[in-house]
């Protein structure tokens, strides 16, 4: 048996999240992948994922692994998968990894991006990948609040009340608010994320941008540990799991541009 790692991208619009669910909930990414592999190889396998994305959340760099006795050459697995998968799921690469590799537990850090279309009239081509917010946002205020979220904290105030996590301490290496291809993008890089954490951060920063939240309140919200103190959970369709890292490199080494405030202060280096 080999342990195979896949790199995936998918549009989560039509799916009830990544994790397999009873059929009456609707299709899931995991269920679809496992059904296609069964058709390709005749094997019943279980896919382990780096991050269980919620219903409607997208992925550009999701990682999964599974154990298989297949003889299909690894370089041909993406083509074989993609010939049977729906067009909104793509396998980008496949490779053998160590037998004890686990896509979830071995991940060192992850990057999520939440995109916002802040124009009065939305771009129709972004409507399923970015939240439309017609109220003009004060980006400077959002950045001030975002910086106060960085570091190692107990983030239970930014976790859904239904979370099953036993611990709430996470390290947020970077929380950046920047412009990207005509959209406003909130980028969160951390060693792990609680259920709905990035979407709650996005909702909180949106309120800061609307002038409804003073950035100075962020430390008190974190210290309170109370979900009601943070703001509403932003809708899922603006969120994308962009990247999962397994090596020793730091986020600054992999994404140096995110640690430079280029575009609003001439590229001055910032902390972290």
Catalytic sites, residue numbers: 54
| Cα–Cα dist 134/68, whole Å | 49
- Number of other CB atoms surrounding residue 130 within 10 Å: 25
Residues written for the chain = 272
As a whole number of angstroms, the distance between CA 145 and CA 195 comes to 21
Question: HEC string of the chain?
Answer: CEEEEEEEEECHHHCCCCCCCCHHHCCCHHHHHHHHHHHHHCCCCCCEECCCCCCCCEEEEEEEEEEECCCCCHHHHHHHHHHHCCCCEEEEEEEEECCCCCCCCCCCEEEEEEEEECCCCCCHHHCCCCEECCCCCCHHHHHHHHHHHCEEEECHHHCCCCCCCCCCEEEEEEEEEEEECCEEEEEEEECCCCCCHHHHHHHHHHHHHCCCCCHHHHHHHHHHCCHHHCCCCCCHHHEEEEEEECCCCCHHHHCHHHHECCCCCCCCECCC
How distant is the alpha carbon of residue 81 from its chain centre?
23
Residue 185, both tokens = 């993008």
Tokens of 99: 């037998």
CA atoms within 13 A on the CB side of 111: 19
């Amino acid at each position: 048996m080999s342990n195979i790692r896949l790199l995936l991208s998918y549009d989560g619009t039509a799916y009830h999240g990544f994790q397999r669910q009873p059929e009456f909930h609707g299709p899931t990414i995991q269920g679809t992948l496992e059904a296609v592999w069964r058709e390709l190889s005749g094997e019943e396998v279980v896919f382990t994922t780096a991050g269980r994305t919620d219903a409607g959340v997208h992925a550009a760099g999701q990682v999964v692994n599974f154990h298989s006795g297949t003889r299909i050459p690894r370089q041909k697995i993406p083509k074989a998968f993609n010939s049977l998968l729906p067009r909104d799921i793509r396998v980008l690469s496949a490779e053998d990894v160590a037998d004890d590799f686990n896509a979830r537990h071995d991940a060192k850090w992850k990057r999520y991006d939440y995109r916002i279309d802040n124009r009065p009239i939305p771009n129709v081509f972004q409507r399923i990948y970015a939240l439309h917010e017609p109220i003009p946002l004060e980006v400077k205020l959002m950045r001030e609040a975002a910086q106060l979220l960085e570091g190692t904290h107990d983030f239970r105030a930014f976790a859904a009340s239904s979370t099953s996590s036993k611990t709430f301490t996470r390290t947020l290496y970077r929380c950046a608010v920047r412009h990207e291809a005509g959209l406003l993008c909130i980028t969160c890089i951390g060693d792990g994320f609680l259920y709905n954490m990035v979407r709650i951060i996005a909702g909180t920063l949106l309120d800061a941008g609307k002038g409804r939240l003073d950035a100075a309140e962020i430390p008190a919200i974190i210290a309170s540990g109370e979900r009601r103190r943070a703001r509403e959970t932003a809708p899922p369709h603006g969120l994308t799991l962009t990247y999962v890292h397994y090596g020793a490199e730091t986020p600054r080494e992999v994404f140096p541009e995110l640690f430079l405030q280029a575009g609003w202060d001439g590229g001055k280096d910032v902390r972290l």
